[in-house]
Amino acid sequence: MATTTNSTTTSTSKDQGTASSGEKTGGERTVAQVQADLEQQRKQADRRMRPELEAQRNLAQQEAGNVLDRDAIAAIQQTERAVIAIAEDRIGEALDAIEQAAGKIEILLSRNPATALIPVNTQVRVIDTAPQDDGDIALLRNAANTAFDINDLPATRTLLDSLRSEIRVRTYHIPLATYPVALQAAARLLDQKKTRDAGAVLLAALNTLAAIDQVTGIPLMLARNAVVEAQTLAQTDKEGARELLDIADHELGRAMDLGYTPEDADYTALRDEMKNLRKQLKGSEDTTSVFARVKEKLASLTRRQQQKQTSSATPASGKKAEQERKAA
């Protein structure tokens, strides 16, 4: 299941496997067999988890949309208008659009002198392609490592895509260090009657917006939900509560296997706390404080994982562009 949502598009995509798909690891199941099972698992997961995943996706979409900057959006729109005008040989309109875009950028620069990136668009994707079985996860990880070691990057990417279970928020940003340079260069090229070059500069600026990803591991979310539900059952159905804690423990294991949390002291402490909680549920002890600690530790793991953002922007390129902008 891979669903993408943004302000303009919704898409579903599948990557096709290549090398290493038929290798057998451990003498039991092959990568091909594991991948053949994934589609059925995705359908089952879609039926089982769609309501809560959809609610989480909607929340992520709303939160991401709240940070978008209207002036940055207007600058992008005017740049797109300039590209269209250039393509239709309406140079005067193109210059006007570039001027308006530059004006919006100047507003952004004056309002955010210390900020390098301004959010302008966002996409939220629910990607749930990872196996449920930890052995299958290990098999795919080993196959991906093998493919990487032999420099089969297409196969590596395909195998890694089979190890995703996440809500991914990708936010596109205008890089304030480079975007003004592109607008100035395009205007100068238009004055020199180099319309094709001007259009290429603007298209390059639009296509090189900095992307920053924030990921929430679905196993962490499912573990949290299972713990919350277990607490509601703790007084009336202790066996049901223990079963839910077993589900939470399984999802925590998947979160670690899939790389959404490290196997560090905090992770180990959480697993130990959950083990202790399951034992206490066999007796008559008050488990309120233990549930509170488990939920807090789980929330802490989730927050820490969400804070690990990945970006397409590089500090070196930003410094160089900033020098070019000042020189211009």
189-242 pLDDT, tens digit each: 999 999 999 999 999 999 989 999 999 999 999 999 999 999 999 988 999 999
- Residue 270 inside a domain? The answer is yes
Q: What is the pLDDT of residues 279-312, one digit of tens each?
A: 888 888 888 898 999 999 999 888 888 777 676 6
Residues 121 and 247 placed together within one structural domain of the fold? no
Residues 299 and 170 placed together within one structural domain of the fold? no
What's the average model confidence in pLDDT over 155-171?
94
Residues 225 and 106 placed together within one structural domain of the fold? no
Residues 289 and 228 placed together within one structural domain of the fold? yes
pTM assigned to the model: 0.73
- Residue 322 inside a domain? The answer is no
Residues 223 and 189 placed together within one structural domain of the fold? no
- Residue 114 inside a domain? The answer is yes
Residues 204 and 235 placed together within one structural domain of the fold? no
Nearest-angstrom CA–CA distance, 113 and 110: 6
What are the φ and ψ backbone dihedral angles of 120, each rounded to 5 degrees? -130, -20
When divided into structural domains, the chain yields a total of 2
Q: What is the pLDDT of residues 13-36, one digit of tens each?
A: 333 333 344 444 445 677 777 766
Q: What is the pLDDT of residues 134-152, one digit of tens each?
A: 999 999 999 999 999 999 9
Residues 85 and 227 placed together within one structural domain of the fold? no
Q: Helix 265-280 to helix 288-306 angle, to the nearest 10 degrees?
A: 150
Structural domain that includes position 169: 2-7+26-129+164-208
Number of C-beta neighbours around residue 130 at 10 A: 26
Residues 230 and 271 placed together within one structural domain of the fold? yes
Residues 170 and 234 placed together within one structural domain of the fold? no
Q: Helix 91-111 to helix 70-87 angle, to the nearest 10 degrees?
A: 160
Question: How is the chain split among helix, strand and coil, in percent rounded to 5?
Answer: 65, 15, 25
Residues 66 and 178 placed together within one structural domain of the fold? yes
- Residue 137 inside a domain? The answer is no
